[in-house]
Amino acid sequence: MTYLILRLATLGNVAMTVPVVASLSKRYPNDRFIIASKKDLASMFASMPNVEFREVDNRLGWRGVFDLWRAWRDEIDAVIDLQNVRRTRVFGALMRLSGKKVTRVRYGRLRKHMITVWGIGKKQLPTEFERYRDAFRRAGLETNDAFESLPVNSAAAKNVEERFGTKEGRWIGLAPFAKSRSNMLPYRVTKDVIEILTNDEKTRVFLFGAGQIECEMLRQWASVFPRTESVAGQLKLKEELELMRMLDVMICMDSANQHLSSLVGLRAISVWCATHPIIGFAGWKQRPEDIIQRHDLQCRPCTCHGTNHCRYGNFACREIDAETIVKQI
């Protein structure tokens, strides 16, 4: 059987499919799985022999949907839609008309809306991993929780060691940015964390990020603080993963980096501001005690993925002091 798995975006969401797909790859070695997703993410699936990665533009238009259907309808036996948006639903409908079995993930968007907008029913929802597992189960595929980490990419690991040298002392990763303001600490708090950490001469800090503005800001921070280096925009994804494997801990927001850390078995201290783990986006096998958040705010969570707007105008959820984070480290 050949299964097409659709998960077009985002980096963090695609990373969350890896533990489940890795389980499928081992459990069904005679089946073929095709991952359709955004570019540059193939390295997360490269170690799985019966998994093939295909790049799809996340801005795929309606014409593109029909083009993919015509190209893949004779190759695919079944579709598992882990995106479940209008375009992928149309694609799934076309595949059904071609006689293919189609299964969609159930995201529980109404329940999430009730929690974040109306403040009703604030209790733990199924995790994204559980939702993915349920979609595969309804497609007739069983998974397990055996995944611990991706195997070492020897070539990428060698490049990382040549660039950063042999590890000495304590290496700490810091990924301070996210797509939305509500998911980030104030800059002053992040800089306080870096300053406290770099006061220890045996500690080396690596700054992670993406995007032109983030890269420039992290570069400037790295030039100010000792034993601090920005790797934002400097490494390929496979090299970032191998660098993370060498770290002692990753400090990150509720963002993709907590999920990338999980793929190499790295402990992540994640800071949650407007979002909340009860929505289901905590990292794979990350420890609940490593989640830092304000429990005293009744307005949390006010968003599932992040927002640039605060209904009270003060973003009180972001006011977490640097000492709390450093203490957890």
pLDDT exceeds 80 at position 58: no
Over the range 271-295, which residues count as b (16 or more CB within 10 Å of their CB) and which as e? bbbbbbbbbbbbbbebeeebbbbbe
Domain annotation covers residue 143: no
Is the same domain home to 104 and 253?
A: no
Sign of the alpha-carbon dihedral angle for 298, 131, 21, 83: negative
Domain annotation covers residue 21: yes
The per-residue pLDDT for 63 is 81
Measure the CA angle with vertex 37, ends 33 and 40; round to 5°: 110
Contact assessment for residue 183 and residue 275, using Cβ atoms and an 8 Å cutoff? yes
CATH number of residue 228's parent domain:
3.40.50.2000
Is the same domain home to 76 and 10?
A: yes
User: Domain span at residue 43?
Assistant: 2-138
The per-residue pLDDT for 57 is 80
Domain annotation covers residue 76: yes
3 state SS of 31: coil
pLDDT exceeds 90 at position 39: no
Report the distance separating Cα 288 and Cα 275, nearest Å: 15
Q: pLDDT band for position 321 (50/70/90)?
A: very high
Residue at a domain's end among 138, 163, 198 = 138
Domain annotation covers residue 116: yes
pLDDT exceeds 80 at position 61: no
Is the same domain home to 123 and 179?
A: no
Percent of the chain at pLDDT above 70? 99
Is the same domain home to 94 and 196?
A: no
Is the same domain home to 117 and 217?
A: no
For residue range 237-293, list pLDDT tens digits in order. 999 999 999 999 999 999 999 999 999 999 999 999 999 999 999 999 999 999 999
Residue at a domain's end among 111, 138, 165 = 138
CB-side neighbour CA atoms (13 Å) of 164: 26
The per-residue pLDDT for 52 is 97
Q: pLDDT band for position 64 (50/70/90)?
A: confident
Residue at a domain's end among 90, 109, 138 = 138
Domain annotation covers residue 147: no
The per-residue pLDDT for 240 is 97
Is the same domain home to 16 and 130?
A: yes
Is the same domain home to 50 and 185?
A: no
pLDDT exceeds 80 at position 62: no
Is the same domain home to 183 and 307?
A: yes
Mean pLDDT over 35-46 rounds to 93
Over the range 195-234, which residues count as b (16 or more CB within 10 Å of their CB) and which as e? eebbeeeebbbbbbbbeeebbebbbebbeebebbbbbbee
For residue range 298-316, list pLDDT tens digits in order. 999 999 999 999 999 999 9
Mean pLDDT over 74-79 rounds to 96
For residue range 218-229, list pLDDT tens digits in order. 999 999 999 999
3 state SS of 323: helix
For residue range 6-31, list pLDDT tens digits in order. 999 889 999 999 999 999 999 999 99
Is the same domain home to 133 and 255?
A: no
For residue range 137-186, list pLDDT tens digits in order. 999 999 999 999 999 999 999 999 999 999 999 999 999 999 899 999 99
Query: Based on the structure, what is the number of domains in the chain?
Result: 2
The per-residue pLDDT for 60 is 72
Domain annotation covers residue 257: yes
Domain annotation covers residue 146: no
pTM of the model: 0.95
Domain annotation covers residue 22: yes
